Structure 1
């Protein structure tokens, strides 16, 4: 069977196209046909690099999934170009097609994941998980959700612990690689643009911390990369890229949106989600216990070269990394024409800068 084409718009993902996709993934048999569908967009302003649609399906000749999710690139040219420059679209498609099975946990079922290399032309068709709970970034995680996020993250990290510094995975950006060097060169120019739009959302001392931090990003990232074992990183591990089942029923957490895929120490992801996806006071009260849950799960999954103290120290350090960079880079470069996108970035920035200050950011920068 030939690989389906990449639709230019959601209108091109019609019944014939979805029939080919679902037959190719084995979700429907050769006698079953998608006869009609209706689509609606979800998560507007949440995924700044992509657009998500739920397609509700009807069939003839057999049964299939009641609905699927179709992911296409952003229609904003600035965002599309940024995704190309940073290799984000290609990283997610290759993750699902090449690494998903080995990751083995916390992922949606994928029916199709293809891209035209070097472009923003891609499509991902995945199972519809809208029956699971989605949590808004502004609301933030409840404690039990934060605990679940630590367990599934540790499962993913343990699956790749010490296995990613190999030639066949060099295509995945690292914390001390070219992508970080590019961001490092741009941050001093972007930071004034970011503060022009978001300084009023930052805590006391935040603007000054950012000024000192913005000229040292590659140094800081390289510092973490040199001090701890490497694993596979999500690098945009936040609550709106997760779906939660019922904890009482033992349902798993599902992680989506792997465009930021990277390699490096796991503390990057741990600090990113706890710093940006929890209400500040809840994070302050429970973060030591949450990092302990993450570390205990790593040990349970066979990791032996990483102490609890090391995990905590890396977590403290990592609050000067991805959370600040994503907030500043997104707020200073991407199209945020919808109010939802502006609120998302502003809220993330407020929490991440607060966490960096809480954990002695000025002191770390002075070391």
Structure 2
């Protein structure tokens, strides 16, 4: 660890010394790592540090090593740093507290509260109904908190698969010419929503940290946070933890739960009936938008299934009316 990074952490936490602990994960395409630091001489036993170091040559698992891809990743870490420095949430949609951040040359450092110490020390690769609802509750409160907010300093349109930032993947699409031709119209429908919020942008199961009981969660990884329709987060989350048969059987009730939580969370002056009507109509469009991305990015992905194809057919039919 560089001396200047060590000094930054010690000053931010009021610690007398630190010890580098275990690596939590390597960042996507080899752009750095997330590590836990153990502290002495302060009231925090540990912090988590996201250390970004832009590689000379990225190693993307899908082969998408382009200048555009690199520029998008650089921008994503700039957005995440700005998010942690400038935005905050409340206990209903918990995120780690940012203790310090710095950027110099090809390196960035974000020092975060250790969510394990805060009681969110559980990770899930599969979830039960109550845990799915905990994540949907987090999303509902998050979307309500930022409803109508301008995504200043964030992505103008959130999510990592946004069409404007993914022309290469669109060009690579094969086998579904109708969807490829309709990609702009689908993106336009989502962008034309009257009710917009700030979306997490990468709300997959792996980015939620659970309490011991599984009934409460906190979220991490805000590289693609930005403006948009809340359904983008909801469809991406549901698709990250349920297979096609589960989606067919469970999505309607889970959507009802999300909207019930959203209704309790939005301000009184919001026309909730209009909001719910619009976002329910956008559910299939948001799902199809991500399906479009996958077909170009990784056409063999397990999320390309009959449920996604059915929703895509519905959307394409609606666009013709």
1:365 matched to 2:303? The reply is: no
Distance change (3 Å), C-alpha of 1:227 and 1:354: same
TM-score (ref. length: structure 2): 0.80
Deviation at 1:37, TM superposition (A): 1.0
Give the match for residue 36 of structure 2: 55
Give the match for residue 103 of structure 2: 115
Give the match for residue 145 of structure 2: 159
Structure 1's unaligned 5+ residue stretches are: 1-10, 193-207, 333-345
Deviation at 1:262, TM superposition (A): 1.7
The answer as to whether partners of 1:175 and 1:222 remain within 8 angstroms in 2 is no
Deviation at 1:120, TM superposition (A): 5.1
Q: Partners in 1 of 2:113 and 2:242 — Cα distance?
A: 27
Give the match for residue 197 of structure 1: none
Q: Partners in 2 of 1:266 and 1:159 — Cα distance?
A: 12
Give the match for residue 189 of structure 1: 171
Deviation at 1:175, TM superposition (A): 6.3
Distance change (3 Å), C-alpha of 1:186 and 1:40: same
Deviation at 1:352, TM superposition (A): 4.9
Structure 2's unaligned 5+ residue stretches are: none
What CA RMSD, in Å, does the superposition of the two structures yield over aligned residues? 3.1
SS in 1 for 2:48: strand
Distance change (3 Å), C-alpha of 1:228 and 1:270: farther
SS in 2 for 1:100: coil
Q: Partners in 1 of 2:106 and 2:297 — Cα distance?
A: 18
Q: Partners in 2 of 1:212 and 1:298 — Cα distance?
A: 34
Distance change (3 Å), C-alpha of 1:356 and 1:306: farther
Q: Partners in 1 of 2:53 and 2:100 — Cα distance?
A: 18
Deviation at 1:134, TM superposition (A): 1.3
Q: Partners in 2 of 1:274 and 1:265 — Cα distance?
A: 15
Write the deviation string for residues 59-109 of structure 1: whole angstroms up to 9, x where unpaired.
2xx334222221123665336952533621111111111112589732012
Distance change (3 Å), C-alpha of 1:153 and 1:182: closer
1:146 matched to 2:135? The reply is: no
Give the match for residue 133 of structure 1: 122
Q: Partners in 2 of 1:236 and 1:107 — Cα distance?
A: 14
Distance change (3 Å), C-alpha of 1:83 and 1:157: farther
Write the deviation string for residues 275-300 of structure 1: whole angstroms up to 9, x where unpaired.
22223333322211111111111111
- What is the 5 A alignment of 1:66-77? 66-73=45-52, 76=55, 77=57
SS in 1 for 2:192: helix
Distance change (3 Å), C-alpha of 1:313 and 1:247: farther
Q: Partners in 2 of 1:50 and 1:305 — Cα distance?
A: 43
The answer as to whether partners of 2:170 and 2:296 remain within 8 angstroms in 1 is no
TM-score (ref. length: structure 1): 0.71
Give the match for residue 187 of structure 2: 221
1:315 matched to 2:304? The reply is: no
User: How many aligned residue pairs are there?
Assistant: 300
Deviation at 1:125, TM superposition (A): 1.5
SS in 1 for 2:38: strand
The answer as to whether partners of 1:276 and 1:323 remain within 8 angstroms in 2 is no
Deviation at 1:320, TM superposition (A): 1.0
The answer as to whether partners of 1:154 and 1:295 remain within 8 angstroms in 2 is yes
Distance change (3 Å), C-alpha of 1:226 and 1:126: same
Deviation at 1:171, TM superposition (A): 5.1
SS in 2 for 1:88: helix
1:173 paired residue among 151, 156, 161: 156
Distance change (3 Å), C-alpha of 1:298 and 1:144: same
Deviation at 1:53, TM superposition (A): 3.0
Between 1:70-79 and 1:156-165, the stretch displaced more is 70-79
1:291 matched to 2:255? The reply is: yes
2:241 paired residue among 262, 277, 282: 277
Write the deviation string for residues 311-346 of structure 1: whole angstroms up to 9, x where unpaired.
332212211123542x456549xxxxxxxxxxxxx6
The answer as to whether partners of 2:24 and 2:36 remain within 8 angstroms in 1 is no
